[in-house]
Amino acid sequence: MPKAIVIGAGIAGIAASLRLKAQGFEVEVHEANPYTGGKLHAISQDGYRFDLGPSLFTMPQFVEELFALFGEDIATHFEYIQKEVICNYFWSDGTTFSAKSDKQEYIEELCTTFGESPKKVTAFLNRNKKKYELTAPLFLENSLHKIHTYLNTNTLKSIAQLYKLHIFQSLDKTAKAYFKNTKTVQLVNRYATYNGSNPYKTPGIMSLIPHLEQYYGTFFPKGGMHRISQSLYELGLRQNISYHLNSKVNSILTEKGRAVGIELENGEHRKADLVICNMDVFPTYKQLLATHKAPEKTLAQERSSSALIFYWGIEKSFPNLDLHNIFFSDDYQNEFEYLFDKKSICDDPTVYVNISSKDNPEDAPKNCENWFVMINAPAHYNQDWNALVQKTRVNILRKLSKILNTDIEALIATEYVLEPSGIEKNTSSYRGALYGAASNDTMAAFLRHPNFNKKIKNLYHCGGSVHPGGGIPLCMLSAKIVSDLVQHDFNTQ
Ligand code: FAD
């Protein structure tokens, strides 16, 4: 039986390990942390449970596919519900908007609240659908770096219609072409943050992101987001994948231009027929492939934004809040100038409050809520995080207390904080970026590192820092692309 080694048990590493196992490989996974899941991890503190990383679950079919590979009934191990409310939005002038998953309701309420034209909203949603259909086969589901991707008719059709994608104008400009109210534009611009980018620079093609929420829906796993990584890890255990925790990889071993195994921190060598690396591609080159030439242009790409998160146990329940809630900044452009130009945090950042106890009541004591309070933060450039955290905590509390008309600080029963340097430390993500490189220019998608190594045979790359990008769905797709490449290279099932 051929053997595969996977470095890292983030969601992409776990997905890749399962796919390779289904192809008939013996699979060994080495994870530096004492737990699997990477950013998809959780903690419990003083009676509250908090998902540490992702909070928004879209495209559950990618999780389903992995259970289906082994003929397992997903419902026995992983359950999820579809949300009727996608997100509640709040502004400091008292405006509120509840985005519904029902398309008609969404259009009607958007038009009533913001005075937009139903015709324009419908045209916008339809264009987003078209963008997704044209790009998914080309940009998301295949390697951008293999000639066979470009030789199929679907891809050629997509290329012929590239002008429909708004690639050469910003997301902000695209939104302004459809909407007149600055709040509607802000709603659209927010989607740039789903891959850690700047809406005033990222191309208008990014408006396909709201399509994923609006058309395919948003979901919540029973037991919390952590069940996504945990249930897949448990599936791997049932399939005899051997996961080695506290097992940090020091280098990738190569012979005659081929990957032949890994060296662990304790000096042990483990041999394999192929290696899949789920570690962020920047430290992969700088640490695990230190003697090899690195693709410097790819590695020099601007990093995506990171996050500052306060995990608060709140001794009260708020009926006007749902699972996802956004409290918008009054000056969105200023917020992004701080993030990407000044590498700092403005005084009035947009605040995202996620409350999993709304759908999973066990996550907080009775009549209490577990708040995951996140703002976008710049990538880690050795800022004084202590000072920024203290200053921002005051600003966030002031903002939430004002809009919710309640003294929030007085309700905090327990607190845990994570900032960009902590995210980097926990997962080796370069500069704590949540999504690898930012997509702040038109060519960013083409500059992402491919899912195979151009210089070293039998070495593959998956995860949020490589093609097609960050976020759970794209990380899962990166594992699928790797598995397709391996199948082709090794002639397996
Ligand atoms: P990671 O999760 O980064 O895992 C990499 C793993 O590799 C880690 O476990 C690490 O310990 C291990 N590793 C690294 N180096 C070594 C080594 N040398 N040896 C052994 N092991 C090693 N996505 C969404 O879809 N929805 C969201 O709502 C969302 N919100 C987010 C909020 C936050 C606060 C964060 C942090 C992320 C969020 N994301 C969200 C992004 C999403 O979490 C990531 O894109 C995704 O989880 C990344 O998975 P990955 O497989 O690339 O790797």
pLDDT at 210: 87
Alpha carbon distance, N-terminus to C-terminus of the chain: 13
The reply to whether ligand 1 has any atom less than 6 angstroms from the CB of 173 is: no
CB-CB contact of 485 with 452 (8 Å): yes
| pLDDT > 80? residue 150 | no
| pLDDT > 70? residue 327 | yes
Quickly count: other Cβ atoms within 10 Å of residue 180's Cβ: 12
Query: Helix (H, G, I), strand (E, B), or coil: what is residue 426?
Result: helix
Based on the number of CB atoms within 10 Å of its own CB, is 221 exposed (0-12), middle (13-18) or buried (19 or more)?
buried
| pLDDT > 70? residue 152 | no
Q: Is 20 left (phi over 0), alpha (psi -120 to 50) or beta?
A: alpha
Pairing status of strand 85-90 against strand 96-100: antiparallel
| pLDDT > 80? residue 143 | no
Mean pLDDT across the chain: 95
To test the pocket of ligand 1, the residue of 17, 29, 33, 39 to mutate (highest count of ligand atoms within 8 Å of its CB) is 39
Mean pLDDT of 460-487: 96
Q: Residue 37 Cα, ligand 1 centroid: separation in angstroms?
A: 7
Q: What is the pTM of this model?
A: 0.96
Question: How far is the CA of 318 from the CAs of 151, 315, 370, in angstroms?
Answer: 54, 10, 11
| pLDDT > 80? residue 141 | no
Mean pLDDT of 321-342: 98
Token pair, residue 189, equals 């611009």
Ligand 1 atom at shortest distance from the alpha carbon of 309: 34
How do residues 412-436 score in pLDDT, each as one tens digit?
A: 999 999 999 999 999 999 999 999 9
How do residues 28-78 score in pLDDT, each as one tens digit?
A: 999 999 999 999 999 999 999 999 999 999 999 999 999 999 999 999 999
pLDDT at 164: 74
The reply to whether ligand 1 has any atom less than 6 angstroms from the CB of 428 is: yes
Token pair, residue 214, equals 């609006």
Return d(Cα 248, Cα 257) in angstroms, integer: 23
The reply to whether ligand 1 has any atom less than 6 angstroms from the CB of 87 is: no
To test the pocket of ligand 1, the residue of 55, 277, 278, 461 to mutate (highest count of ligand atoms within 8 Å of its CB) is 278
| Residue identifier of the C-alpha nearest atom 39 of ligand 1 | 54
Token pair, residue 309, equals 């998160």
| pLDDT > 80? residue 153 | no
Return d(Cα 309, Cα 351) in angstroms, integer: 10
